[in-house]
Every structure is written in C-alpha cells, then in structure tokens.
Structure 1
Amino acid sequence: MAESVNVLIIASVVPAYAHPGDAGADLVATEAVTLEPGARALIGTGVRIALPDGYVAFVVPRSGLAAKHGITVLNAPGTVDAGYRGEIKVTLLNTDRDTAYDVAVGDRIAQLIIMTVPPVHFVPVEELPDSIRGSGGFGSTGYDTQRSPR
C-alpha cells in the first residue's frame, strides 16, 4: 500500500473518495449552471489546497457523467501545480448534441487525483538513443488506414 500524504485544504465540501482504494476524490459544484448542448462553463468547487513539493493534482472527468450525459472536463486532465493556492475550478463541456444538462450546487462534477512527480532535469543532446517504437506517432501501432468511414 502506498504511503499517505497530508494535503492542507480549505473547502466548503472536502473532496471524498467514494470507495476505499479509489484514486480520485469527488469534487462538487458550488454553483448551479445549465450546460446547453455543446456549451462549456467554468464551475467553482470551493476547494483550495496546498500540495507538498513533488506532488501534482489532476482534475479528471467522472465516468458516469461522461457515459450517461456526455459531460466531460474540457482540459482533462486539468493540472494543479504544487505552488497554486487558488480555487480549483472545473471547465465542464456538454458533448451531447441535443440535451442540456443542469449542474446543481453539491453535484459531483469531477475527480481530483493526487500523484507524486519526480524532479526532472532536461538535458540537451544532439541525438536521442534508439527505441523499439522510434518516432512512430498517431496510428503507428495498427490503425487501419484502408478502413472505410462509418
């Protein structure tokens, strides 16, 4: 089991894990918003945190909202750096083409995942070492370009 870390927080509703062992703690809306089809909105959560150095928080979509209503986090994952002390806000996007979605105060709108990040030093070089993948990018592992469009 991973070692726990204390994260200082100011929040009207402290993020909570739905089940033991969950990676994401639920963030709730502090304001009511109607998301029309295709619309987006920046929604407050009332959460401010002080992450220790060497940690990052990611704001990610809730799978149930995405699957049932087409609601996602626009810039997922949203990155909260250790030095940020402002309110964590969530940019929700309604991808449904026909139906508006109402967000009520207290609704679970996203999840917060906290992870360690090692210090990184970028070392400029003239050439990179070879790898099995090489420079193969999008679709290089098997996308069929001859497939007919659906």
Structure 2
Amino acid sequence: MNELTLTTPALLFSAISLIMLAYTNRFLAYASVIRSLHDRYLKEKDDSLLRQIKNLKLRLNLTKFMQIFGITSLLFCVLTMFLIFIGYAVIAVYAFGLGLVLLLISLALLIKEIQISTQALQHHIADIEEYLEKK
C-alpha cells in the first residue's frame, strides 16, 4: 500500500473549491429564476409557471445536496491531513477514502442535475419549434 502524505488530500483543495464555486453559481442562478417565476406566477397564475418552479425546486434540492457532499468531502480531506499530521496514518487513509466517496456522490448528483436541466431546456425548445410550425 502506498503511503498517504499531506500533499495527497491537499491536491483536492483546488478542485473541490472550483467545484463548490460552480455549485454556488448554479444555486444563485436558480434562486434568481425562482424569484422571477414567483413574481410572474403571482401576476399571471399560469400553471406552466408552477411546473417550471417545481422543476427548479428539484434542481435546487439536488444542488443543495451536491454542495453538502462536496463540503463534507473537503472536511474529510482536512481531517485526513490532520490525522496524518498527528500520526494516525491508517485512520487517515479511511478518512481520505470516505472523502473521495463523498466527492463521487456530489459529482453523480451533478450529472443528475444536468440531465434534468437539459430536459427542461428541451421542453422550451419544443415549445418554440411547435409555435414556429404553426406559424
């Protein structure tokens, strides 16, 4: 078994930080769109807006869990470094492994969220194409 050093979990810091920045940007974009749709719904009472809000709610929840798993992964990387520092190398390996699994879960949730986002956009494109065909 290869020895785990302080630099191994530290390598993930920049990757996880960039991922978390992307997740936060998604979260802020969803929040903005939801606020806008909410205001439109209060004025128009259009059921299609409710479907969009429901879709965004699902995507927002996925993003929340993506962030939770990503942050927890980062915490386990820090814990790994601490455990290596105090001489608990065996426990550090398991902590690092758990951190990697949490990062994998976060990325898997991202894939699911991207699929949902793509489906939502395809519905909008289909609506536009249907309108153009009628015209």
- TM-score (norm. length: structure 2): 0.25
User: Greater share of strand residues, 1 or 2?
Assistant: 1
Q: Which of 1 and 2 has greater Rg?
A: 2
- TM-score (norm. length: structure 1): 0.23
